[in-house]
Structures are given as structure tokens and as C-alpha cells.
Amino acid sequence: MAVLEILQFPDLTLRRRAATIPQIDEAIHRLAQDMAETMYVAPGIGLAAPQVGVPQRLIVVDLSAGERPGELITLINPEIVCKEGELRMEEGCLSVPDLRETVARCRRVVVKGMDLEGRAVELEGEDLLAVALQHEIDHLDGILFLDHLSQLKRSRYAAKVRKAGSAGS
């Protein structure tokens, strides 16, 4: 396994819609393993393939952040098929460092996709799991959690990133 580089805002790769994975091969298995390792080292509870520069529809989620074996969820070509309720929860993102903000999401979601064996999976998530699934699936569509914030908050964060970038030059 390898720890991959996590792309950070404003990298334009994060804004591209990821491609459907047509077949599950050894490269996809390796990518999923590397993504999980990267997520645990970061540390985080979710990661989408576009965040590591791979424009494919693959996510990993583990609410225990690796603390409880067997809780890793790997989904290929996930899509939300049902949304219910509303929940406001503080979020952060490995691709948007040093920012945590409250975001409104659906409280419950049902997601369909495939596991690494190519079997159809239907997963119901509530509360934090629902938020994590929505957050990671957003990444597959080129959407960052920043996009759920007010224009003012987005502008302030972008200015902060620009200033930090010019300070490092």
C-alpha cells in the first residue's frame, strides 16, 4: 500500500466530474487500498478518488478512522437514490485544509453502488454516515463542501489560500 498525495483547493482537478468505473480490476483494488491508507494517515473519515488525482467514481469511508477493523466502506460508482430530512453538522475536508464550517445536508440517504467484488450494494446512512457519503459523492461530481457555504465564506477562504500561496513564493 502507498500513501497518496491529497490534492488541495484550488486545484482544478477537484472540480472535474469523475468517470464511471467500467470494470473492477487489480488497479482499482490497489487504488482502493491506497486511498484507505491515505485517509487513515491524513487522518480522515472519507476520501474520494478525485482527491488523489484519479478522476474515477470510487470512495472510501470509515467513521472510526481505522480504529475499528471491518468498518471501512468502499463504494464503486456510488449514487444517492434516496434523501430524507435535514441535518446541520460541522464538516471539514482533507482537500480544503484549515476550514471547518457547518453545512446543511440530508439526515438520511440511501446509496447504491458496487463493492470491490463487483456485487451490487445498497447502503443506508443516517447522521454522520449520511453526511460522509454525501460529502464524498459530491467530490465525484466536482463539488467541494465550500460550495455549500455562503459566497462570503468561500471568498474569504479563497483569499486566505491565495495569500498563503503568495507568501510561500
**Residues annotated as catalytic (active site), given as ranges:** 136
Upper half-sphere CA count for residue 75 (Cβ side, 13 Å): 26
DSSP alpha helix (H) spans, 65-150: 128-140
One-letter amino acid for residue 139 of the chain: H
Nearest one of 78, 63, 74 to 34, comparing CA atoms? 74
Q: Phi and psi dihedrals of 55, rounded to 5? A: -80, 60
